[in-house]
């Protein structure tokens, strides 16, 4: 059986070779094949270091088939005939047989046993080179998406050849957006790869005031400097300026290291090395005649080391006086290393202009951040502005109402998979849940404790502790997601620096809506009128036919319900945990107190101030948001010293009411 199979295989291969030979001979004269044959040796060798000329030749040739060659080569589909040395591309039919095609006209040559061919398997380095060469063909592709993809790949990893490719297609591009990208990319690559300084400077100045991160990335290496030292300041053009050692820019120790590295001064000895040297020279119980036991102070060790130097046992090390003298005797200066001095100076000038513009834009961005933080605090605080500000009830469980709202949203999303619909459902549901909880709490607890604010504070603390633990028992301690609908993903981008996520815009809009709702309810509805009447004088209000108990209950429910909606919004922005309300409660009370109790505009001012302040402190100390919160709370404590009744203080009788 096996004998028969071997015989068949042999027969078949002989047949195939017979068929193949004349066909292969046909294509050997095609220009593309000749080009490949010129570099056949290095292509077959397939080494990243030597492959360059072959790829360059393919990229530079005008042959239409060059692109096919590069693509097939990159995809590991190029083979060469071991007998004739001719290149073909092929697909594998099974493990032993391939179907070969001619590069010249793409015609099928036939099916062959793969023993006669060798597959070229370029490594990833070579594939990268091939990819770079392919880009110029892609840039001429009629499909705009292919051209855009080519630009993307140049942006990721550019090299000098791309500059020529871009210049070749710059004027021919028809798509306006792509033309702009090509133009920008061409100038960026000019900065990096152009031959003459004049060209590069022209490209650099064309970017004046451009905020793009890519521009700064291209310019920054040009203005790189190193600190160098010499006995006298050299006259070279690349010397930027002198620096004084011992300043923040150049600490004395670092300056001395530069001298040592430049061979201008002897090295100092570190304490560890000194110790090691002393240990090496211990003889019995002494080092250079000094008792080892007495070497428990740095001065004693310095003396012992000096004694060793006198004995010639160790190298002399620079003393502090030597260091000072050496620093005195040399000039330290910054040398431009990024590029030719005129180019570097031009880049520096453009960068300075950009930095100034960046600073302006960063403060705008910071302002937007502060605004969105302020609107989050406002959402958290507006319910309090009603229950605490208007009614004077301290509700320490307010944060837990926010949490309940957020968990309501989470539970709704468990049942309604559509995020848009679930959020639309969650908002009224969260209001209903927390309204109910608020009404229940008012009836059962707070009503019994009116006029005893400290007791209210304590009782609501108890409720807060219990609710938090209850949430932990039901939902566990890990954070639960509340996913925003897809249309809230992403950011509104103004430029590379200023951007704001849509979710923050949504929270800002929601905060404005809440403000409007509050104002309308309090000033334009009968409920608001009655609330204000009951707040000012419950007995008088009661004698006018208002039921103060009912009004208090509804007001408290309203404030709690708004906290629930705020919980949904905050849950979209941050994760839902049982402690999320507690995170906001102290700040919320602070903002209400800072703004002035009983005045919604005061609360608005309070949150704006607190938000701006916190973002400002974070900007000064970006690594540390905890510190920002700490300092902000300290600031508020101090602020209350000077305006104990807040920014907008109630005056007259209302103060004690």
Partner 1 sequence: MTDTTSLFPKYAKSRPFVARHPSVLIFLVCLALFTLGVTILSEGFGIGVISTSFIKTLGKTLCLCLVALAMDLVWGYTGILSLGHMAFFGIGGYAIGMWLMYARTEIIVVQSLAAAPLPPTPQEISDGIATQIFGVVGASEFPPIWAFAHSLPLQLAAVVLVPGLLALVFGWLAFRSRVTGVYLSILTQAMTLALSLYLFQNDSGLRGNNGLSGLQNLPGLDAVPQDTVSMWFLWASAAALGLGYVFAAWTVSGKFGSVLRAIRDNEARVRFLGYSVEAYKLFIFTVTAIIAAIAGALYYPQAGIINPAEIAPIASIYLAVWVAIGGRGRLYGAVIGAAFVSLLSTWFTGGQAPDINLGVYTVQWVDWWTILLGLSFVAVTLFAPKGIGGILDLLEQRRSPDRHGADLGPDAGALREKEADT
* List of residues 6+ apart from 196 with CB closer than 8 A: none
Beta-bridge mates of residue 88:
79
Q: Which stretch binds partner 1 (CB under 8 A): 150-158, 199-207, 256-264, 468-476?
A: 468-476
Q: Which of 150, 278, 327, 437 is close enough to bind partner 1 by CB under 8 A?
A: 278
Site residues for partner 1, 169-228, by CB under 8 A, read: none
Q: Which of 156, 454, 478, 543 is close enough to bind partner 1 by CB under 8 A?
A: 454
Minimum CB separation of residue 440 from partner 1 in Å reads 12
Minimum CB separation of residue 215 from partner 1 in Å reads 35
| 319-328: long-range contacts, CB 8 A cutoff, minimum separation 24 | 322/265, 322/266, 323/252, 323/256, 323/265, 323/268, 326/256, 326/259, 326/264, 326/265, 327/245, 327/246, 327/252, 327/255, 327/256, 327/259
Minimum CB separation of residue 478 from partner 1 in Å reads 15
Contact between 445 and partner 1 by CB under 8 A: the answer reads: yes
Q: Which stretch binds partner 1 (CB under 8 A): 87-95, 96-104, 372-380, 460-468?
A: 460-468
Contact between 233 and partner 1 by CB under 8 A: the answer reads: no
Contact between 473 and partner 1 by CB under 8 A: the answer reads: yes
Q: CA-to-CA distance for 481 and 462, rounded, in angstroms?
A: 27
| 630-637: long-range contacts, CB 8 A cutoff, minimum separation 24 | 633/586, 633/587, 633/590, 636/590, 636/594, 636/610
Q: Which stretch binds partner 1 (CB under 8 A): 99-107, 119-127, 289-297, 567-575?
A: 289-297
* CB of 364 or CB of 445, closer to partner 1: 445
Q: Which stretch binds partner 1 (CB under 8 A): 67-75, 138-146, 218-226, 462-470?
A: 462-470
Minimum CB separation of residue 378 from partner 1 in Å reads 18
Task: Count the alpha carbons within 13 Å of 327 in the hemisphere toward its beta carbon.
Answer: 20
Site residues for partner 1, 488-527, by CB under 8 A, read: none
Contact between 637 and partner 1 by CB under 8 A: the answer reads: yes
* CB of 319 or CB of 473, closer to partner 1: 473
What mask of x and - would describe binding to partner 1 in positions 530 to 569, judged by CB under 8 A? ----------------------------------------
Q: CA-to-CA distance for 280 and 293, rounded, in angstroms?
A: 15
**SS3 track for 56-70:** HHHHHCCCCHHHHHH
Contact between 283 and partner 1 by CB under 8 A: the answer reads: no
* CB of 449 or CB of 521, closer to partner 1: 449
- Per the listing, tokens 């309300």 go with 581
Tokens at 432, concatenated = 């209903």
* CB of 18 or CB of 293, closer to partner 1: 293
Instruction: At 243, give phi and psi (nearest 5°).
Output: -125, 145
Instruction: At 393, give phi and psi (nearest 5°).
Output: -95, 125
Q: Which of 36, 385, 590, 648 is close enough to bind partner 1 by CB under 8 A?
A: 590
Report the sign of the C-alpha dihedral through residues 158, 164, 165, 168, in that order. Answer: positive
Q: Which of 354, 358, 391, 459 is close enough to bind partner 1 by CB under 8 A?
A: 459
Minimum CB separation of residue 287 from partner 1 in Å reads 8
∠ CA 452-455-457, nearest 5°, is: 110
Contact between 24 and partner 1 by CB under 8 A: the answer reads: no
Minimum CB separation of residue 324 from partner 1 in Å reads 22
DSSP 3-state assignment of 643?
Answer: coil
* CB of 20 or CB of 459, closer to partner 1: 459
Q: Which of 14, 282, 356, 513 is close enough to bind partner 1 by CB under 8 A?
A: 282
- Per the listing, tokens 């119980």 go with 285
Kindly state the number of chain residues that form the binding site for partner 1, as judged by CB under 8 A: 56
DSSP 3-state assignment of 275?
Answer: helix
What mask of x and - would describe binding to partner 1 in positions 293 to 322, judged by CB under 8 A? xxxxxx--x---------------------
Contact between 462 and partner 1 by CB under 8 A: the answer reads: yes
Tokens at 391, concatenated = 């009614």
Contact between 270 and partner 1 by CB under 8 A: the answer reads: no
Q: CA-to-CA distance for 389 and 103, rounded, in angstroms?
A: 82
Q: CA-to-CA distance for 493 and 149, rounded, in angstroms?
A: 22
**SS3 track for 234-274:** CCCCCEEEEECCCCCCCCHHHHHHHHHHCCCCCCCCCHHHH
Site residues for partner 1, 375-404, by CB under 8 A, read: 394
Q: Which of 145, 174, 543, 641 is close enough to bind partner 1 by CB under 8 A?
A: 641
Q: CA-to-CA distance for 613 and 605, rounded, in angstroms?
A: 12
Q: Which stretch binds partner 1 (CB under 8 A): 6-14, 422-430, 469-477, 561-569?
A: 469-477
Q: Which of 243, 343, 429, 463 is close enough to bind partner 1 by CB under 8 A?
A: 463
H helix intervals, 525-599: 526-536, 538-543, 548-573, 580-595
Tokens at 295, concatenated = 């070497």
* List of residues 6+ apart from 493 with CB closer than 8 A: 499
Site residues for partner 1, 597-636, by CB under 8 A, read: 624, 626-627, 629-630, 633-634, 636
Q: Which of 106, 144, 453, 481 is close enough to bind partner 1 by CB under 8 A?
A: 453
Contact between 9 and partner 1 by CB under 8 A: the answer reads: no
Q: Binding residues for partner 1, per CB under 8 A?
A: 271, 275, 278-279, 282, 292-298, 301, 394, 445, 448-449, 451-455, 457-459, 461-470, 472-473, 582, 586, 589-590, 593, 624, 626-627, 629-630, 633-634, 636-638, 640-642, 644
């Amino acid at each position: 059986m096996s004998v028969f199979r071997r015989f068949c295989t042999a027969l078949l291969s002989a047949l195939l070779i017979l068929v193949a030979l004349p066909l292969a001979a046909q294509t050997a004269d095609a220009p593309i094949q000749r080009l490949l044959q010129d570099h056949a040796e290095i292509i077959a060798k397939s080494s990243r270091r030597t492959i360059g000329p072959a790829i360059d030749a393919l990229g530079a040739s005008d042959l239409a088939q060059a692109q096919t060659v590069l693509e097939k080569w990159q995809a590991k589909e190029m083979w060469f005939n071991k007998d004739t040395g001719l290149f073909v591309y092929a697909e594998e039919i099974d493990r032993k047989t391939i179907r070969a095609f001619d590069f010249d006209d793409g015609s099928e040559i036939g099916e062959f046993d793969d023993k006669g061919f060798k597959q070229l398997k370029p490594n990833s380095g070579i594939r990268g080179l091939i990819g770079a060469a392919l880009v110029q063909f892609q840039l001429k592709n009629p499909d705009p998406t292919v051209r855009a993809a080519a630009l993307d790949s140049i942006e990721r990893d550019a090299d000098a050849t791309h500059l020529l490719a871009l210049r070749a297609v710059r004027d021919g591009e028809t798509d306006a957006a792509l033309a702009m990208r090509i133009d920008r990319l061409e100038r960026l690559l000019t900065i990096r790869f152009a031959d003459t300084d004049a060209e590069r400077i022209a490209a650099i100045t064309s970017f004046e005031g451009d905020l793009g991160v890519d521009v700064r990335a291209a310019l920054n290496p040009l203005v790189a400097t190193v600190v160098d030292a010499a006995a006298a300041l050299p006259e070279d053009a690349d010397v930027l300026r002198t620096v004084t050692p011992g300043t923040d820019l150049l600490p004395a120790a670092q300056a001395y290291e530069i001298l040592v590295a430049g061979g201008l001064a002897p090295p100092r000895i570190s304490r560890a090395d000194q110790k090691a040297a002393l240990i090496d020279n211990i003889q019995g119980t002494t080092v250079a005649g000094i008792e080892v036991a007495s070497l428990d102070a740095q001065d004693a060790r310095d003396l012992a080391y000096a004694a060793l130097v006198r004995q010639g046992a160790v190298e002399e090390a620079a003393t502090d006086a030597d260091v000072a003298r050496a620093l005195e005797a040399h000039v330290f200066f910054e040398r431009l290393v990024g590029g030719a001095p005129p180019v570097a100076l031009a880049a520096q000038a453009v960068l300075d202009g950009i930095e100034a513009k960046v600073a302006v834009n960063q403060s705008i961005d910071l302002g937007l951040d502060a605004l969105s933080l302020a609107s989050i605090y406002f959402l958290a605080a507006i319910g309090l502005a009603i229950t605490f500000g208007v009614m004077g009830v301290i509700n320490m469980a307010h944060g837990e109402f926010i949490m309940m709202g957020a968990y309501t949203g989470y539970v709704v999303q468990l049942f309604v998979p559509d995020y848009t619909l679930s959020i639309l459902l969650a908002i009224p549901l969260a209001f209903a849940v927390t309204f109910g909880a608020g009404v229940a709490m008012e009836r059962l607890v707070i009503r019994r404790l009116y006029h005893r604010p400290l007791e209210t504070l304590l009782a609501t603390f108890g409720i807060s502790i219990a609710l938090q633990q209850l949430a932990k028992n039901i939902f566990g301690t890990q954070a639960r997601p509340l996913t925003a609908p897809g249309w809230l993903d992403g950011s509104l981008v103004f430029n590379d620096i200023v951007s704001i996520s849509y979710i923050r815009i949504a929270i800002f809009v929601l905060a404005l809506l809440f403000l409007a709702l509050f104002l309308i309810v309090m000033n334009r509805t009968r409920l608001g009128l009655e609330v204000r009447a009951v707040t000012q004088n419950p007995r008088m209000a009661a004698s006018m036919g208002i039921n103060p108990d009912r009004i208090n209950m509804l007001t408290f429910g309203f404030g709690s319900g708004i906290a629930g909606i705020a919980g949904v919004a905050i849950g979209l922005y941050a994760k839902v945990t049982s402690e999320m309300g507690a995170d906001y409660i102290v700040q919320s009370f602070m903002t209400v107190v800072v703004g002035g109790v009983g005045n919604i505009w005061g609360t608005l001012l309070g949150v704006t101030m607190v938000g701006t302040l916190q973002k400002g402190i974070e900007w000064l100390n970006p690594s540390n948001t905890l510190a920002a919160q700490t300092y902000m709370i300290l600031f508020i404590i101090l602020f209350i010293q000077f305006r104990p009744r807040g920014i907008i203080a109630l005056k007259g009788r209302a103060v004690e009411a």
